[in-house]
Amino acid sequence: MKIMVSTFIILLLFSLLVSSCQFFSKKTYYQYPLEELTPVQFPNDYFKKVPIEIYKSNSDNIPILMYHSIDDPVNWIDTQTFRKHLELLFEAGFSTIKLQDYLKNNYESVPEGRKPIILTFDDQWGSQFYYEDTKGTKISKNCVVGILEDFAKLHPSFGKNAIFYLFFHRLPFLKSEEDHILWKKKLIYLVNAGFEIGSHTYDHSKMTNMKPNKILEELDFFYSKLLPILGKQTTCIMTLAYPGGEIPKNSTMIKNYQFHGVPLLAALKASGGFAKVPVKKNINMFELPRLEGSTENIRWIIQQHTFTVHKKIVPISKIFTYSKNSILQWLQTNYIQKDFFFRELY
């Protein structure tokens, strides 16, 4: 009897233990009501989509035209010829873009199906920018700036972009006596109107055998001259056109040059054919080729296969956009289309 009672008590205790364990284990598992659970904290950016522009790689060629004076038909071209060039280019599907956009692979300003082209003007000839009046209130309809502005009004899809490469051993854009005073106003106008300015060095010396210290001086003097006129905008004009197209044998200083901590981004030659779509080909930005703006070249250019903008906006989770490689990986995985490239975000 005693044994039976003991056995019963042991069994009772055991069953109580088991049920209490289940009770406790259940209670532990459902300890907190769902509403009290802290939701998982994803980074704010996790689901944010970043629009990435991708472009079809239909050609690597992008023309960079080099003009000088447009009222000197003996050495260069006349005004009518320049107008004709714009018409030929427009009709052939070209649209002007800023050099700084080209350097970033940014073709946002170019309408779908049109072809980017960059217009550059060297040596600050008077015919590039002059006023009809002595006070500088009316831009001449016959200078480069006036012609480009009128043309863009008539044909908005052509854009109104050009870069003027300046030096300072004579003042920029001298056409009349008044220009000795008006030149600063012109530079401010250009920058505010969306045109670009670039360095053609301080005194237009050939750079072939130039020592690094002299290169530094040429660039520092150039940018220091502009700083009191353009202020902060001076650091937005960090490109160079080599005088006479001559590349220095020692170009280390060019590649490492900075003004107020802002690096020089690119340097242009005076010949060399088509420039290439940047980034994709890892091209040398300090030896960008240009084509002389002659009628013969224009006729040749419009017959060539050059890069045409066909863009698509692809939304990518921000988490995959922190590097060029991760964007490329994402596009290659999710966008099975090999012949594209994308605009750099950074």
Chain residues in the site for Zn ion (CB under 5 A): 122-123, 243
Smallest separation (angstroms) from Zn ion to the CB of 76: 12
Tell me, what amino acid is at 195? F
Tell me, what amino acid is at 301? I
Six token digits for residue 21: 């364990």
Smallest separation (angstroms) from Zn ion to the CB of 243: 5
Smallest separation (angstroms) from Zn ion to the CB of 197: 14
Smallest separation (angstroms) from Zn ion to the CB of 78: 20
Report which DSSP code applies to 131. Answer: B
Q: Is 130 left (phi over 0), alpha (psi -120 to 50) or beta?
A: beta
Question: Is residue 308 within 8 Å of residue 21, measured between CB atoms?
Answer: no
For Zn ion, the closer CB: 53 or 292: 292
Tally Cβ neighbours within 10 Å of residue 304: 13
Question: Is residue 253 within 8 Å of residue 212, measured between CB atoms?
Answer: yes
Smallest separation (angstroms) from Zn ion to the CB of 204: 6
Smallest separation (angstroms) from Zn ion to the CB of 223: 18
Smallest separation (angstroms) from Zn ion to the CB of 101: 24
What is the CA angle 333-339-340, rounded to 5?
A: 75
- CA 3, CA 15: separation in Å to the nearest integer? 18
Helix/strand/coil percent split, the chain, to 5 = 40, 20, 40
For Zn ion, the closer CB: 169 or 180: 169
Report which DSSP code applies to 236. Answer: G
For Zn ion, the closer CB: 125 or 158: 125
Give the chain's radius of gyration (CA, Å): 32
Which one, of 133, 189, 139, lies nearest residue 164 by Cα?
A: 189
For Zn ion, the closer CB: 244 or 315: 244
Question: Is residue 250 within 8 Å of residue 244, measured between CB atoms?
Answer: no
> What are the DSSP E strand ranges found in 32-129?
49-56, 61-62, 64-67, 94-96, 115-122
Which one, of 207, 294, 286, lies nearest residue 243 by Cα?
A: 207
Is the dihedral angle over the CA atoms 219, 251, 240, 175 positive or is it negative? Answer: positive
For Zn ion, the closer CB: 157 or 205: 205
For Zn ion, the closer CB: 268 or 327: 268
Smallest separation (angstroms) from Zn ion to the CB of 200: 5
Report which DSSP code applies to 320. Answer: G
Smallest separation (angstroms) from Zn ion to the CB of 240: 11
For Zn ion, the closer CB: 286 or 340: 286
For Zn ion, the closer CB: 160 or 290: 290
- CA 295, CA 275: separation in Å to the nearest integer? 19
For Zn ion, the closer CB: 266 or 331: 266
Report which DSSP code applies to 173. Answer: T
